Structure formats: structure tokens, C-alpha cells
Structure 1
Amino acid sequence: MSLPTPSRSLLRGSAILIIWGRQSNLSIPDERALNDWWTNEHLPERLAIPGFHRTRRYYHTSKDSSDDQAETTAISHSYSHYMVVYEVSSLSTLTSPPYMHALNNPTAGTQKFMPVLASMNRSACNVLLSVSRAEFSQCQRGGVGGTLAHVVFQAPQSSEAREALRTYLATEAWELILGFFPSVLAMHLLEHDEEASRSGNSTKSYDNVNFQTAIAGGGGGADEQGPKWMLLVEFTDPFGAPFASYKEKCRGFSEGLSAHGVDLSTLKEEIYGLVVAMEE
């Protein structure tokens, strides 16, 4: 059977703000309060800003690696990993006066909980590529997958190599993923924009918050190593389902990245389950 050709983008804009990272040392009541604020106050506040079209929250847990070395440990420690994705009209939305006003006039809840997110990563990104299954091309509005793979890596330094990589991801890599994962829904390629990211990070909402911006494994800046790129791969598998295909490693994918100039030592991958998706 021939593979379907890429369809239109399922995203609701040409730029994305993405925040992700690990939390620890929160009591159960405190983490419940954090999630209550995040979903029921912060997301509606952001969706009220012009240019913010859709937002989604994701979650997964990981075990403390020290527990692997202590089989007799009575208590298993775990970390909560969170991700929030904002789909916006364009990168200029993330430096617009309405958004800057919201960031410089944080609510009491934001002032309370934002320091809890201090160890997370925050990145304003342009969407370089967005493809989806052709079977959903007739849908009037794009949907989201229940499981999301987030892959971060350093792109090649030269613009020619980056364009070759983008073309590879849009064609051969996408066909490879479609053929390997029956549950894949869409794939989006993002490029971190340092200026737009720093513009938001310097506002009052993020007082005493030092978001991580450097890619893990990368020693230099974009001028030395190329920009930070990310892939968001959406799956229709329920997160954690025993039959889910997203758990498998796609044969040939990492090799293809390496062949197109990606240093695999800079690559980091996390897989999240959907908490909530809301639109304007």
C-alpha cells in the first residue's frame, strides 16, 4: 500500500511558545494547587490574548535514577515532567503589547506558582514545517494527539545543511515515520528564536525565574553550532497504553538525522501524555 502524502498543518498558527521541564519536591497538595492554577486560571488568561489560538498541557513521570541502584529502597521517588504548548498567529504575537502587558502584570496566582517552574525551559519558536496524515485533510480544524514526543537537538551551522535537513524531514523522514508508526498523526519542526524568548523572560511574570535556554550537550551558541530545533510528533495512542506503538524506536530515523548533520549527542527526547487542550 502506498503511503499517503503529507496533508495541511493541524496547527493554529505559524509560531509556538513551548515550556517544558521537570518538577520535584512538591507535596501532593502543592502539586494539585499548581495544576489547578495552571489549567483553570493561567490557560484561559493566555487564550484571552489576541493571537493565542490554542493551548495544551502535557505530563509524564520518571523515576529517580538513584532508585535503580537501591533495590531495597522503601520509598520510590519520582519526578513530574510538564509541558505546555501555545499555538499563536506568528512570532510577533510573543512580543506584542497585549502579551507583554499580561507578562508585566501577573496575577497573584502567577506570582505564587511561577517560581515553582524556575528550572523549566521556555522557548519561542517559528514553525518551519508542519505535516499531518492525508486522511484528515478534510477536517475544518486541526486536532491534537493524545501522546506527544518532544525531540530537541542542535541544527547544523550552515543554512544549506539546515535546508537539506528540513527537506529530509518533510519527505523521507515523514514517510519513514508514517510507515513505522500506525498511530502517528502529525509532525511539526520548530526553530528556537532567542530574541523573542528573551523578550518574555525579562518580564515581571518571571522575576526570580531563570528559565533554561541552552540545549543540553551544546557548548556554544547558535552562531557557533547552529540554532536549536525541535520536533513535536503527535500520536493517537493513549499515553501509557500497553499496545501503544509510540514506545518503539523508529528504525533509521536517528541515522537519517546524523547523515544530515545533526550531532546526536545534542539530542534529547521526552514523551508526554495530554492533560488538556483548549482553544480560543
Structure 2
Amino acid sequence: MLKGQGLLSLWNGVEPARRAEYDLWHTREHVPERLAIPGMLRARRYHRGEGPLPEFLTLYELETNAVLAGAPYRALLETPTAWSRSMRPSFRGFFRVGHRPLLSRGGGVAGALMATTFADLPAAEGRWESAAERILRETAATAIHVLAKDPAVAPVPFAVPPGGGEAHADGGAILVECHDRACLAGIAAALAPALDGPGLALGRAPWTAYDLAYLIDRDELPQVVAPSRPEG
């Protein structure tokens, strides 16, 4: 299950020449400075996206989405470090969504995830419960998260290169975890009638598959060692 009652998702690619630097910066500076904010509970970064969504997906699990309107978080957005400021122009296909979890079922954090986004995500809570229960029981899925967009979350106060996928992100997203990426196609096939038949996922984008690259809980922050920024 997701921790807390709020969630922030960030989707992006990165300029190929800066891929290694991006991984270092994101893991050792960007994520830790955000998790240090009160109300941030856990961060995950997924990579190697295969599908229509960007290569990277980052999730921040929050006590509530009010964290994103607070002064500590806004200060990070408005007064970034020099390294963060230099990385932003290298993003590709960036978009960002604040979510309200409608449903989060399953245990643990698995090594593979598939994601789809929507222009419209109906909040049919009872039907989501039924579909999630069946998929978790009958497939290799270990967790399912159904997310509605929270319109109260303000956009970032800086410009980045134009993004992709926004047309499908206005309603929300579904995330499905499993232990191995090879299992995702079978789960997607089993989910299709559960989502499309009852009209739970009208207009959904094709699934994008991801591998888990990094996960850290807030209480692990004291163990993170800040790296030296690469030269050049």
C-alpha cells in the first residue's frame, strides 16, 4: 500500500548525454532534499520506461497533499541548488501530477510496475475495490493503486522543455506492481476486461512498463552521503 493520503508523480526523460549525472543527482541530492520536508514519507524512482509515457517515473508518498503547498516545499521549487538549476533544462517530456489515492491495495514494494494515465477517471470506488481484489488474487500483481488528479496542487513555478502525456493525465492514473517485469503483460491482459467492460478506464493510454531504480524512506535519510557534483 501507498503511505499517507497524498501522492506526487513526476514523469520525465533526460538528455542522453546527462543520463549518468541525472541518476546521481536525483538519487543523492534531489530526492533527499525533498524527503527532508515534514510530511514527505517515501520516495521511489522507476526507470527504463517502455511505452508511451516518459522514461522515468518518480513517486513521493505524502501524509497529505498539503505538504506541496507548504513553505518548505515551495522554497525548494523556487530557490533550487545550482546543480538542480542546471539539470532542469535537460529534462525531456516532463509533467507532474498531484494525486488523491482512490484505492491502494497490496503489500510490499515490487521490482516492476506498469502505469497508465487517463483524461477521465471515474471515482467508482466500489467497482475499483472489486476489480483490484480479483486481479490481486488471480494474477502475479502485488499491489494496485488507483489515483485521481488533485486539482488543488499548484504547477511548478519554472519552465521546462515541453512534456508528453498531459492529454491523458487530467483524470488520474493506475499503477500496478509485480515482482518481475515479465509478468506485466499477463496482468495487463487480465485487467483489460475489468477496466474497460464496466467503463472504469475510458480513454486510457497504453500501459508503460518500468523497473524500480531506487526507493528510500524518510527515516533512512541520515545514512545518505551527498556526492561531489561531476565536473563539466
**TM-score normalised by the chain length of structure 2:** 0.82
2:4 aligned counterpart, secondary structure: coil
Distance apart, 1:80 and its partner CA:
7.4
Runs of 5+ unmatched residues, structure 1: 1-9, 64-78, 134-142, 157-161, 219-226
Q: Pick the aligned partner of 1:47 from 35, 43, 46.
A: 35
Q: Pick the aligned partner of 1:181 from 139, 143, 164.
A: 139
Q: Pick the aligned partner of 2:148 from 151, 176, 191.
A: 191
Cα RMSD for the two superposed structures:
2.6
Distance in 2 separating the partners of 1:57 and 1:132 = 19
Distance apart, 1:153 and its partner CA:
1.9
Distance in 2 separating the partners of 1:228 and 1:211 = 17
**Which residue of 2 is the match for residue 272 of structure 1?**
210
Distance in 2 separating the partners of 1:94 and 1:211 = 21
Q: 1:275 and 1:91, CA in 2 relative to 1: closer, same or farther beyond 3 A?
A: same
Distance apart, 1:267 and its partner CA:
2.4
Q: Pick the aligned partner of 1:260 from 183, 198, 203.
A: 198
Distance in 2 separating the partners of 1:131 and 1:154 = 23
Distance in 1 separating the partners of 2:105 and 2:133 = 11
2:152 aligned counterpart, secondary structure: helix
Tell me if structure 1 keeps the 8 A contact 2:106–2:142: yes
Distance in 1 separating the partners of 2:64 and 2:146 = 15
**Which residue of 2 is the match for residue 147 of structure 1?**
112
**Which residue of 2 is the match for residue 125 of structure 1?**
99
Q: 1:214 and 1:256, CA in 2 relative to 1: closer, same or farther beyond 3 A?
A: same
Tell me if structure 1 keeps the 8 A contact 2:49–2:208: no
Tell me if structure 1 keeps the 8 A contact 2:45–2:215: yes
Q: Pick the aligned partner of 2:55 from 61, 65, 81.
A: 81
Distance in 2 separating the partners of 1:229 and 1:80 = 16
Q: Pick the aligned partner of 1:207 from 151, 159, 172.
A: 159
**Which residue of 1 is the match for residue 173 of structure 2?**
230
Structure 2 letter corresponding to 1:153: F
Runs of 5+ unmatched residues, structure 2: 219-232
Structure 2 letter corresponding to 1:215: A
Distance apart, 1:15 and its partner CA:
0.8
Distance in 2 separating the partners of 1:187 and 1:174 = 7
Distance apart, 1:248 and its partner CA:
1.8
Distance in 2 separating the partners of 1:144 and 1:125 = 19
**Which residue of 1 is the match for residue 129 of structure 2?**
170
Tell me if structure 2 keeps the 8 A contact 1:155–1:228: yes
User: Which protein has the larger Cα radius of gyration, Structure 1 or Structure 2?
Assistant: 1
Instruction: State the identity as a percent.
Output: 26
Tell me if structure 2 keeps the 8 A contact 1:122–1:213: no
**Which residue of 2 is the match for residue 109 of structure 1?**
83
**TM-score normalised by the chain length of structure 1:** 0.69
The count of corresponding residues between Structure 1 and Structure 2 is: 218
Q: 1:175 and 1:62, CA in 2 relative to 1: closer, same or farther beyond 3 A?
A: closer
Distance in 2 separating the partners of 1:214 and 1:80 = 11
Tell me if structure 2 keeps the 8 A contact 1:154–1:263: no
